[in-house]
């Protein structure tokens, strides 16, 4: 965990209201796929928790991709090259990528849940299938980036304007019906995660999900970002997305 | 060299900046960023006899210059704390204040008894949590109930006892006085102010418990006022809490009558907020030729009321 002010290296708008921000940060290359950072937005008391999308060892930088939702993200979206951002991270624990050099994986991302999967997908190369769901063709992001990892990428949109018309989890069902895989990784809205977990379980495939909850401290001190998690003996307890997650085993999450 | 040390109820603090309960866990998280020995003390996460799960999410929401929370006293229970956290905490070189809560008066007394035998420095009686159905704030909003629970705990508590007061009352000075006469060794205030936000689209409250406790810079003026009123009424030391995020806020709180301060929500914005506040107080003292920080406690010069 590092804390400090680090400069913006690059800012791009990937789709309307979806911003990619590269930040130079010496410790960034150590971030595990699935970890996040807390970024302070001017005038806002609470840091915005943003998943790390990927890192760039050569430039000592990491990037976050976020949607402009309120005053905080609006401020963040207006930052340009060279401006300093107050960053705390990397935080939380990422995806379990053990065996990624030989195992096959399916990634399921919904909307702004797609970016946190990119760094993990990179590790699997062509042994990964990446299924991404968006509202419409204009909101599709990171398509080329996922394809660049060597993965086979499939798109679903609500209105059918790109790829499969319907839910991304329908693509997951079809994919697992067709052939097995070793693990499923999912990030996106709760209903999507819940469906992905169910489909993976029905096919006997391990699944990890990256959860989101409203957060305050980001480090596990305030206990705000609670999520109900099942332990080995079946007991259900509130664990915390910032410290115990954001990645959890899907079959342990009480959706 | 300015002397930042203060003594509260016989307990020496190296400086007057204490981490506020519920914002600092049991210290392990922030110990990764700085040595806990730099802090005056830590008011540890509120403990109960049995483990508590707390409220469902969402448990927090940002508000203008503040936040609401309804964590609901999630904690592993006093037994697990004594076994898993206290031995490590004891080695960290800072004053340890155990914040204790309960559903019944007897719960508070049992907690006080158990912790009286443990190597903690002080107890902070949490009769001001707004986010639990039983106990919590219910004990803290009338002079009678504050007096009764303080008196009962005092009888069975061998440690210096701080009573943490709720701001959700009409007359804070009388509440403070009730705690003092019942045997409190010190007071800490304010806990959070109850508040509520509603989502326009879903028409749902933004917190699972509908209401929550407001903290952060937004509450500072309320806290200053209440500390001023309480400190004027009692002789025991007062620890000022509420919205302190800069050294200036801390000094203001001391001027109002506090002997020390607790810092909470500011740590979420800046994990080093307390370090900066300590350094800021120190340079303020040097610049103003103040030798001992306790000199300024209560030195506000109020206007004569008309």
What is the model's pLDDT at position A30? 84
pLDDT, residue B5, reads 98
Dump pLDDT digits (tens) for A89-139: 999 999 999 998 999 999 999 999 999 999 999 999 999 999 999 999 999
The torsion angles phi and psi of B100, rounded to 5 degrees, stand at -120, 140
Rounded Cα distance between A200 and A217, Å, is 32
Instruction: Kindly report the nearest CA distance between residue B53 and chain A, in angstroms.
Output: 6
Residue B267 token pair: 């740590």
Checking DSSP bridges between strand B41-43 and strand B95-100, what pairing results, if any?
Answer: parallel
- DSSP assignment letter at B81: I
C-alpha dist (Å) from residue B182 to B8, B147, B152, B177: 18, 5, 9, 8
Residues of B in contact with A237 (CB under 8 A): 53
Label residue B224 by pLDDT band (50, 70, 90).
Answer: very high
- Domain A105-210: CATH class, spelled out: alpha beta
> Would the pTM of this model clear 0.90, i.e. be above it?
yes
CA dihedral A211, A244, B114, B156 (to 10 degrees): -40
Average pLDDT for residues B239-250, to the nearest whole number? 98
List residues of A whose CB lies inside 8 A of any B CB. Answer: 1, 3, 40, 44-47, 72, 86, 88, 213-228, 237-238, 243
Total of domains in chain B: 1
CB A254 within 8 A of CB A230: yes
Q: How far is CA A81 from CA A56, A156, B269, in A?
A: 16, 33, 23
pLDDT band for position A87 (cuts 50, 70, 90)? very high
**Dist. CA B66–CA B262, nearest whole Å:** 16
CA pair distance A139, A133, nearest whole angstrom: 10
pLDDT at B198 over 90: yes
- Candidates A159, A164, A162; CA nearest to A174 is A164
Beta carbons within 10 angstroms of residue A22's beta carbon: 22
Nearest chain B residue (CA) to A40: B269
pLDDT on residue B132: 75
Mean pLDDT score of chain A, rounded to an integer?
A: 96
Question: How many CB pairs below 8 Å do chains A and B form together?
Answer: 96
Per-residue confidence at A3, pLDDT binned at 50, 70, 90?
confident
Phi/psi of residue B180, nearest 5 degrees: -65, -45
Answer yes or no: is pLDDT of B134 > 70. no
CATH number at residue B14: 3.20.20.70
Would B305 be classed as within a structural domain? no
A169-226, pLDDT tens digit by residue? Answer: 999 999 999 999 999 999 999 999 999 999 999 999 999 999 999 999 999 999 999 9
In a domain, B258, yes or no: yes
Q: For residue A105, what are its two tokens?
A: 């994986």
pLDDT of residue B1: 86
* Both structure tokens of A62: 């990491």
Q: Which of A44, A213, A223 sits opposite B54 (nearest CB)?
A: A223
Q: What is the ipTM of this complex?
A: 0.94
B155: containing domain: 6-296
Asked if the A2-91 domain carries CATH number 2.40.30.10, the reply is yes
- For residue B74, give the nearest of A72, A88, A226 by CB distance: A226
Torsion of CA B167, B168, B170, B176, to 10 degrees: -40
Enumerate the domain spans of chain A.
2-91, 105-210
Phi-psi region of A72 (alpha: psi -120 to 50; beta: other; left: phi over 0): alpha
pLDDT classification of A1: cutoffs 50, 70, 90: confident
């Amino acid at each position: 965990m590092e804390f400090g002010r680090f400069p913006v290296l690059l800012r791009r708008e990937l789709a309307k209201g979806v911003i990619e921000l590269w930040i130079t940060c010496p410790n960034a290359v150590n971030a595990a796929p699935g970890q996040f950072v807390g970024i302070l937005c001017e005038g806002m008391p609470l840091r915005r928790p943003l998943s790390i999308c990927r890192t760039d060892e050569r430039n000592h930088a990491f990037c976050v991709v976020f949607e402009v939702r309120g005053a905080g993200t609006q401020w963040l979206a207006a930052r340009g090259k060279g401006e300093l951002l107050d960053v705390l991270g990397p935080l939380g624990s990422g995806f379990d990528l053990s065996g990624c050099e030989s195992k096959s994986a399916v990634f399921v991302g919904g909307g702004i849940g797609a970016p946190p999967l990119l760094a993990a997908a990179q590790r699997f190369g062509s042994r990964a299938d990446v299924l991404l769901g968006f509202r419409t063709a204009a909101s599709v992001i990171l398509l080329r980036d996922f394809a660049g990892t060597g993965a086979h990428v499939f798109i679903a949109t609500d209105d059918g304007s790109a790829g499969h018309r319907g839910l991304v989890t329908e693509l997951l069902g079809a994919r697992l019906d067709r052939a097995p895989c070793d693990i499923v990784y999912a990030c996106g809205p709760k209903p999507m995660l819940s469906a992905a977990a169910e489909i993976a379980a029905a096919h006997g495939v391990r699944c990890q999900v990256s959860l989101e909850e409203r957060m305050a401290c980001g480090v596990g001190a305030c206990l705000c970002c609670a999520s109900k998690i099942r332990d080995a003996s079946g007991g259900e307890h509130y664990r915390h997305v910032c410290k115990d997650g954001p990645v959890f085993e899907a079959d342990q999450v009480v959706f | 060299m300015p002397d930042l040390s203060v003594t509260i109820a016989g307990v020496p603090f190296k400086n007057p900046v204490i981490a506020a309960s519920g914002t600092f866990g049991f210290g392990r998280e922030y110990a990764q960023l700085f040595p806990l020995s730099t802090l005056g003390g830590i008011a540890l996460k509120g403990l109960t006899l049995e483990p508590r799960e707390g409220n469902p999410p969402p448990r927090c929401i940002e508000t203008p210059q503040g936040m609401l929370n309804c964590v609901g006293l999630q904690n592993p229970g006093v037994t697990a704390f004594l076994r898993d956290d206290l031995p490590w905490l004891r080695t960290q070189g800072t004053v340890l204040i155990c914040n204790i809560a309960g559903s019944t008066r007897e719960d508070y007394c049992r907690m006080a008894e158990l912790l009286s035998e443990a190597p903690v420095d002080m107890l902070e009686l949490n009769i001001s949590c707004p986010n639990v159905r039983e106990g919590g704030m219910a004990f803290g909003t009338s002079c009678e109930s504050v007096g009764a629970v303080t008196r009962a705990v005092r009888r069975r508590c061998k440690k210096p006892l701080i009573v943490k007061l709720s701001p959700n009352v009409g007359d804070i000075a009388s509440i403070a006085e009730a705690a003092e006469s019942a045997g409190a060794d010190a007071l800490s205030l304010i806990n959070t102010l109850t508040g509520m936000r509603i989502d326009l689209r879903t028409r749902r409250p933004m917190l699972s418990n509908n209401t929550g406790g407001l903290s952060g810079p937004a509450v500072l003026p309320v806290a200053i006022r209440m500390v001023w009123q309480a400190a004027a009424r009692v002789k025991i030391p007062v620890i000022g809490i509420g919205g302190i995020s800069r050294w200036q806020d801390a000094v203001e709180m001391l001027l109002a009558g506090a002997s020390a301060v607790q810092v909470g929500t500011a740590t979420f914005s800046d994990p080093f907020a307390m370090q900066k506040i300590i350094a800021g107080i120190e340079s303020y003292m040097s610049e103003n030729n103040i030798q001992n920080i306790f000199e300024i406690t209560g030195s506000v010069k109020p206007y004569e009321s008309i």
